[in-house]
Amino acid sequence: MAEQAISDALILGTVEGLTEFIPVSSTAHLLLLGHFMGFQSTGKTFEVLIQLGAILAILSVYAARLIELARALPSDARARRFVAGVVLAFLPAAVAGVLLHGFIKTVLFETPVLVCVTLVAGGFILLAIDRMAFSPRYHDVMDYPLSLCLAIGVFQCLALIPGVSRSGATIVGALLMGTDKRSAAEFSFFLAMPTMAGAFTYDLYKNRDILSLDDAAIIAVGFVAAFVSAVVVVRYVLDYISRHGFALFAWWRIIVGSAGLAGLYLLAPAG
């Protein structure tokens, strides 16, 4: 196993963890950075499977709350409604992801120009959302009605397009449906658990016959890096979004997407 591949996996894993739970699209960052680094993963599995590190990071940060929620399920109707809402929100993207898996991996993941354009477009959308004066009706994820959860789940389907951002789509969708920024980001965290776990499991199943021990080692390095960096982000991102909104993330998207387009143009083969 080449040292360069390990070094690349470490960098990409760190980027995954830093960007997974903020509205900048971790997949877009991995695909663009991997493109310019010349990193090639078998079946584009690395970009999906290292998300397990980010999943475990959010599980570790939310462990106490998840245990409390599990204990409350038998006796608390509010807790049962919340869990049902997360499951309901998960289903639209799960069904669409299975049906479109081949197209997403072989076409969308292989189109860096699309990734750049969606990054830039998403940045301008976030700027517009950040300047809107909302009057939120929901301030606690435990009070989200099932219809609201389903609507957020439909918005999450947009994130099947690399560059859209899963967290960005769900947070924007929640805000448009009447939530405040903090609870929207928190619901996005909870929704990430089944969504990313499902993507990990399905992608591993689909590519189980083409992965090698070298692939496993590179993925393991990316997984550990993603876990460590994601723990840091999850601990602070809720407070940041509540206080400062999305402008920083929006401008970051616009800068990265524009730089990506410039790089693709300048490095394109002549003729």
Question: Cα–Cα distance between 268 and 182 in angstroms, integer?
Answer: 42
Which residue, 94, 87, 20, 28, is CA-closest to 57?
20
Confidence at 146, pLDDT banded by 50, 70, 90: very high
pLDDT for residue 106: 86
Q: CA angle 250-171-17, nearest 5°? A: 70
Which amino acid is it at 106? T
Which amino acid is it at 23? P
Going from the C-alpha of 77 to that of each of 63, 69, 98, 144, 212, the distances in angstroms are: 21, 11, 31, 13, 46
pTM here? 0.86
Which has the higher per-residue pLDDT, 267 or 78? 78
Q: Residue 112 above 70 pLDDT?
A: yes
* % of the chain surpassing 70 pLDDT: 98
pLDDT for residue 270: 57
Per domain, the residue ranges of the chain are 3-266
Q: Residue 83 above 80 pLDDT?
A: yes
pLDDT tens for 20-37 read 888 999 989 988 998 888
- The token pair at 154 is 């439909």
Given 3-state DSSP classes, what are the helix, strand and coil percentages for the chain, each rounded to the nearest 5?
Answer: 80, 0, 20
Place of tokens 């591993």: 204
Q: CA angle 139-169-36, nearest 5°? A: 140
- Count of H-run helices and E-run strands, the chain: 13, 0
Rg of the chain (C-alpha set): 18
Helix axes of 63-72 and 51-61: crossing angle, nearest 10 degrees? 70
